[in-house]
Structures are given as C-alpha cells and as structure tokens.
Amino acid sequence: MAFLRAIFSHPSGRIGGTIVLVYLVIALLGVFGVTPHNPLQQFRIDRLHGPSMKYLMGTDLFGRDVASRLMTAIGQSFLVAFASVAIASIFGTILGLTAAWFGRLWDGLVMRIMDVLLAFPAILLALLIIAIAGPGSFTSIAAIAIVYTPIFTRVVRGPALSIKGREFVDAARTFGSSRRYILTRHLLLNLVAPLTVQVTLALAWSLLTEAGLSFLGLGTQPPAASLGLMLADSRNMMETAPWLLIFPAVAIMISILGFNLLGDALRDIFDPKTRSRPA
Amino acid sequence: MISPLLSVSNLHVGFGRDLVKTEIVKGVSFDLSAGETLAIVGESGSGKSVTALSINRLVDFGGGRITAGSIMLSRADGTTVDIATAKEPVLEKIRGGEIGMIFQEPMTSLNPVLSIGRQIAESFRLHRGLTGRQAEAAAKDALDRVRIPDAARRLKYTPNQLSGGMLQRVMIASALACNPRLLIADEPTTALDVTVQAQIMALLAELKRETGMGMIFITHDIGLVAGSADKVMVMQAGEAVEQGPLDDILDRPQHAYTKHLLSAVPHFQSGRAARADFARQQKQMAALKVEGLTVRFPVSGSIFSRSPGSVHAVENIGFDLMPGETLAIVGESGSGKSTTARAILGLVKPIRGDFSTPGTNAATRTDPGVQMVFQNPYASLNPRLRIDSILAEPVIAAGEPVTAKTRERMAMLLKRVGLPEDSLERYPHQFSGGQRQRLCIARALMLNPKILVLDEAVSALDVSVQARVLELLIDLQKEYGLAYLFVSHDMAVVERIAHRIAVVYAGQIVEIGDAASVLSNPQHSYTKRLISAVPTIDRRQQHFEIDTRQIPSLVRPAGYEPPQADWRGFGGDHRARVEA
C-alpha cells in the first residue's frame, strides 16, 4: 500500500500509473471479449462509417467496429508484451545472477552471448527469429523475449557483482549459508528495485516491438486484431477514413507514454539520492 | 594583542527547506590568530564539519545556509571581509587563495585521471596566474615542501600510484600552494594508518611553524590534537559546550560532555590499562590453534607477460587462543591481519597451514563455533531483511528449524546486547551504527559460538559508542566464556580488550605476547614505531620525527620461500622476531 501511495504521490507516477491502470482494464475487457460489438462481426451496411454514437470510433473497410477491435487489439498486444517480458526477465535474471556469482568462464560466456544479441537492433533480431520460426503470436512472444533478455542480464549482473562483495554476503558465508539462500535472500531481494524499473520500461519497448512486427505482418495474423495490424490495414485509407489510423496510433502512443512515465517514477522512488532531494 | 585572523561570532547554519527546524550549528563563536591552531572536537553529527565548511562557505553547495552570525576574516591586504554575507566572486578568490582546505579522504579528493603535478599546478594557475614551466616548477617546490622524496618524478604520477599518506601530502601541498593564511583540516588523518597519521601531524605542525598560518583542525579524537593544538573547542549537538586553551581543557575540563569524552574514550596508556582478568592454565585445550597459516594471492600477468609472482599476504602465521581469552592482532593496512581473520573463517583459501577448532566440519570447512563480526555495521546487514530474518540466518544455515525457541533466543540476545524488544520487526536502517554493531554481535551469538572473530569491529563507530560496545564485548566474554580474535589497528582500543597481542607486519607476526608486556616494553622495531606513533594525551609534549619509510612490497617471484625466523623470548610468553 505504501508503495502504491508513493507512486501516486509522484507527479509522473500519478499520470503514468493512471494510464497503465486504464489500459489494463481495457486489455482485460478485450481479452475476455467484453466489447461493444463482436470485433469480428462485419456490419456490411455501415462500412467505413465515421465515429458515431453507435460505432464510437467508426467502422473499417469490412464494417467491423473499430472500438471493439481496438480493445481486443490492446488485449492481444498486452498479452504478448507481458508474456515476453516475463520470460525475458526470468531468464535474464537467472543468467545475470549466475554470471555474477560464478564469474570466470560462465560469466565470460554468458556476457559475450548477450553482447552479440545486443549488437543487433531489436526489431532486426526479432525479424530474424520470426523468419526462421514462422510468424504467429507465440513466435513473436519468443522473439521479443529473446531480444530483451540481454538487457535484464546486464541490469542484474552489475548490481549483483557489487552486492556480492558486500559484507553481509561475507557474513552469510561465514555462517555456512547455502548458495541458494545467499542468491535469493541476499542478492535477488536487493535487486527488486532495479528489476521493477526495468520491467516497466521493457513493457513499453515490447509493446512497440510487437506493434512493429504486426505492422510488418509477422506478428498477430488477421483476422485477429492487433495494434500494428490495424495500422497496417488503415494505411491505404488514410485520407478517406483517418479514424482508422488515428485511434490505434494514439492508443500505442499513450500506452508507451504511460509505461515510460511509470518507469521514471519508479526509478525516482527506488533511488535514495533522488528521493532525498529537496523538490 | 594583535587583531584575530578569523573571528566567528554567533554562527547559525541550517539545512533544507526549514532552516530553523534543521539547524545544525546553533550559535558558535571563536577567534583565531595567525600561527594558532584551533581543534574542533566532537562526535559525528555534532556540527563540527558544518562549522568548518561555513568558514569558506562550501556549506552552500551542500544545501546549507548561514542563517545568522558573522565570520570576519582579515585578508592579506589588511581589509576585513564578512564571509557570511560575501558574494560568490569574492569567495572564489578567498577559497584556495586565503583559506586552504584538506579533507578526510585523499583518494576521493583528487581526480584519478590527471597527474598530481597538473592538479597542484592548477591552483598556481588559478590563483597566481603562473603558466607552463613556471607553474610546473612551483608544483615541484610544493611537493618538496611537504617532504615527498623524489618530487620531480612523482609529479607525473596519477593518484593510484601513490599511497594514502602520500596522497594526503599532495592534498596538503595543493592546499598550501598559494600560501593561505588559514588552513582548515577536516579529519585529515582518519583514513590513514597510525604511523602515517603521526607523519602527517608532524608535517602540519612544521608547516605551520614555517608559514605562520592559522589552522583549524577538526577531529573526533581528542588524543590526536593533544600534541598540536593551542586551543580546543568541544562541540555537541551544534553547540560549543566548552572552549579554551589546550591544557585547560585536557587537565581541567568543566563541562560534563568534555569530561565524558576524556574518560569514555579509550586513550592509549602504554599497557597500563591492559586487562589482567585472565591467566592461562597449564594443560588447557586451546579453543583455536593456528599453525603455519600462509595465504598468497596470485598477481595476474597480461596475455603477453608472465605473472610476476604472487602477493604473500599472510606468511607462516601461528598462534593459539584459549577459551575466555582475547588475542588482538594489530598491524597497519596491508599487513595481512584481516586476511588472517578471513582465512580462519574460510572466506579466503590458505595455500598452507592448519587451524583446528574442536568443532570444525571437514566437509564445509565451516564451524558454527567460530563466528565473525565485521568492520562496517552499515554493510554487514542486508538492508532488505527484517531483523528476525537476519538473526535467523545462522540457524537456517546450520540446518536447524526456526521455532518458537529460536525466537526466544533472539529476544534474549537482543535484550542482552542492549536493544529494545520490538527490534525484531524492524529493518536495519532504523538503527544507528552502534546499534547495528550490537545486532551483528547478537547474530554472531545465535549459534552459541566458542570463538568470535572481530575484524575492526569498533573502528567505524563514534568514540563514546566504541567504549560502550567494548564494555559489552568484555561482559559477554565473561558471561559465555568466549574467546576473541580481535583484529584492529587502534592501539588504544586493543589495550582495553586484549589479553595477548600479536603484532603483524608485512604478513608475518613480528612480536607476540602478554598485552601489558608488549605495550609497555615493545622489543621489535616495528612495534616500537607503531606504539610511538599513537597520539596520546600523556605524551603531548613530545615531538615526532618525520619518517617516510613505507611498508615493503609483498609481491614475490613464484617459488620464493621466506627464510625461517629466529625468535627471542622476553619473559613469560612475550617473544619477538630477531631482526636481520
């Protein structure tokens, strides 16, 4: 509770937190199909209908309700983003922790592989993986997870190395504490703060990557809705039906903004130096 | 009477948004004449550093504001300026030019990527407008003045190539570059070894005589200023509780806090304060017996060159420790005393040597009967664990279940070390340094150990807290029959707690024996040097020679074995290594 209060008393945390909460509700509604209309149903009479009371955000070329499609698209995009970030953070944390703890050859091996992965631009590497494995939701989850694993590995390894040298870890060794106990209670517990910040920011990036992949036709496959896919479909009708482009684009923009603001707020909250600074 | 160089009256300094509520300095006044040394003594949080930083207004950069009072400085041209209200351009001229300052940590006060020559030359460039060759020559003179041997070559060194004592001299050299009329020294020797500390103190005293500048010396160690100060000001909680000439303060303290500082703080008394409450019995089993302990760290070479050998950190150390006895291992940084302690706990691997305790588990090389208390109470407790989890860790590590009985023991130990009962539900950051060290002691006692290894366990604490923790340790020793291995560099503290003392120099024991005997009648030249360097109130009239000897390098080529040492006895179990 104190943590939530800290977020909402931080100016950008208040905005970011609210945006993320609203999106989460929309995403949940979208995933469970609680939408104004069936997102796949085609109202042939109302094709390319502008925003109105019946169709809040208008309809597309096939007469499907854009608002409903947008909600399922947000649900779909969030599903991919959360799943891939969960995988990336778990693998990245394990790799980073073990690299820091065991050092030597394992450290060198893990970190050089991560360096190679980091050398590719995110979208290019994801494209490469999908080109090999074939498009689809699951491959895009896997691709995005692989792309963001090195970032978590780095974020964990640095602080883990410095915590490893602290006296409380030495003290634990003198008691004969098990390796698992030291790694979880002493190292991991002290890494919660940087990891939380990183997870929030990675969510924003992976949303963007997912949208990019779907835009290129490599992520979510039609007729299912996805933010990137909706953009791609509306591209050709930009002048006749601008609402088809505007609503998904704004949805992407605001969600990224929300996660970034929340990430910045979390960073401030966890950082003792910025916390004590007089405002 | 000449007019004072510096006259501070009714100084108030506040911090943060509410300047009155967070007032750190509450009405301090003092005068300082040229050629005089004022020592400001107090514990951490007493406002002594803030007072000093106000004098050159560096306090502004730390978020502080002078809320009332005046700081009158008579400048070199005869005018007087009130620093409390002066504008920044004037202050920039005064800082460095008229008021020099040296800080506690020479390592962090110098830029690590610039050569020390350039850094000293910079103050000549800024304040005297010298350029190129001239500035360089002036820098060399400055280094000569602080007695750095081979100054011309050392100008090109970067800070990492010099020892802490050398760096502090470099700091002094650059602070004195423009012949300031006032030098502020903020705990300049706290981070240094005792023998180096003695050298720096002697140097400062000599420089003061040569230049006739005034000096403000901030310290928590009243013994340290005994030899050099003319006046003393004792500060507590932002107020100057007592000030006056040195001898008055030391011999006839008036205020209760000054008396407390003088009595509670351990002062070195050449073995007269050594403990005499333990006598070895024949036929007793040693709690810990160490034989031929040797630790070497390989020096890694680069891809192209072979490793130049290894650092012989600990070389053939042996001693025994009886139940209920304290053996102090004393030495300076780099002498291998901490490595010895860490090797006994299994934190570093010895390449040779035996140590046996009755309960050593051969598989894990750890013995629940040997526990350690570390130097830094702020780093030795995991900040994210609650105290009950912290105290439970040794129990979990020993493979025992955490039961109601464990919690009972936690509560009992917390009470025993003098902490409130509700401590179990709190986090480490809610405790002060002294309380944290008590927590560490309680944690070490959870498994009912026989031996406690105390690695500089009181060094990071304030002096009066130090005295109380030492008392607690002595009480616990009597109550539980604990054997202590007390690693320290502080002779005054060692004198209070040790029954026996082992002096370690360059990885080897050079002298070992009964505490009173070693301290009152040191035999090895290094022990003598160490003891003569300890600042004491008794010996305040003595003067020290400047001694620039350094600890020899411990890097030896592969395969090198040191020669066997010869020992000479001096009555009882007091032995010293025969010097070549």
Which of A167, A174, A190 comes nearest B345 by C-beta?
A174
Which of A170, A174, A190 comes nearest B371 by C-beta?
A174
Q: What is the ipTM of this complex?
A: 0.74
Give dist(CA A274, CA A253) in Å, integer: 27
Q: Output the pLDDT for position A275.
A: 45
Using CA coordinates, name the residue in chain A closest to B364. Answer: A176
Residues B508 and B579: beta-carbon distance below 8 Å:
no
Q: Output the pLDDT for position B352.
A: 78
Chain A closest CA to B16's CA: distance in Å?
7
pLDDT tier, A278 (very low <50, low <70, confident <90, very high otherwise) = very low
Residues A126 and A145: beta-carbon distance below 8 Å:
no
| Statement: residue A232 has pLDDT above 80 | yes
Give dist(CA A49, CA B131) in Å, integer: 78
Q: Parse chain B into domains and list their residue ranges.
A: 6-263, 307-369+451-580, 379-448
Which residue in B393, B395, B452 has the most chain A C-beta atoms within 10 A of its own C-beta, making it the best mutation to test that interface? B393
pLDDT tier, A95 (very low <50, low <70, confident <90, very high otherwise) = very high
Residue A125 corresponds to which tokens in the numbers above?
A: 């590497």
Which of B16, B375, B379 comes nearest A168 by C-beta?
B379
SS3 call for B35? coil
Q: What is the CATH topology of the domain spanning B6-263? A: Rossmann fold (3.40.50)
pLDDT tier, A155 (very low <50, low <70, confident <90, very high otherwise) = very high
Lowest mean pLDDT across A72-81, A150-159, B6-15, B194-203: B194-203
Question: B397 and A170: CB-CB below 8 Å?
Answer: no
The reply to whether B6-263 and B307-369+451-580 are identical in fold is: yes
Residue B165 corresponds to which tokens in the numbers above?
A: 């004592």
CB atoms within 10 A of CB A20: 20
| Statement: residue A90 has pLDDT above 90 | yes
- Mean pLDDT computed over A126-140: 87
Q: Output the pLDDT for position B226.
A: 77
Which of A174, A178, A181 comes nearest B372 by C-beta?
A174
Question: A174 and B347: CB-CB below 8 Å?
Answer: yes
pLDDT tier, A6 (very low <50, low <70, confident <90, very high otherwise) = confident
Question: B347 and A175: CB-CB below 8 Å?
Answer: no
Lowest mean pLDDT across A47-61, A259-273, B222-236, B540-554: B540-554
Q: Is A115 exposed, middle or buried (0-12, 13-18, 19+ CB in 10 A)?
A: exposed
Domains of chain A: 74-267 (1.10.3720.10)
Write out residues in chain B with pLDDT < 50, as ranges.
1, 363
Closest CA to B520 of B308, B217, B280, B268: B268
Q: Output the pLDDT for position A116.
A: 93
Q: How far is CA B370 from the centre of its chain?
A: 26
How many CB contacts within 8 angstroms connect chain A with chain B?
A: 68
CATH of domain B307-369+451-580: 3.40.50.300
- Mean pLDDT computed over A216-233: 85
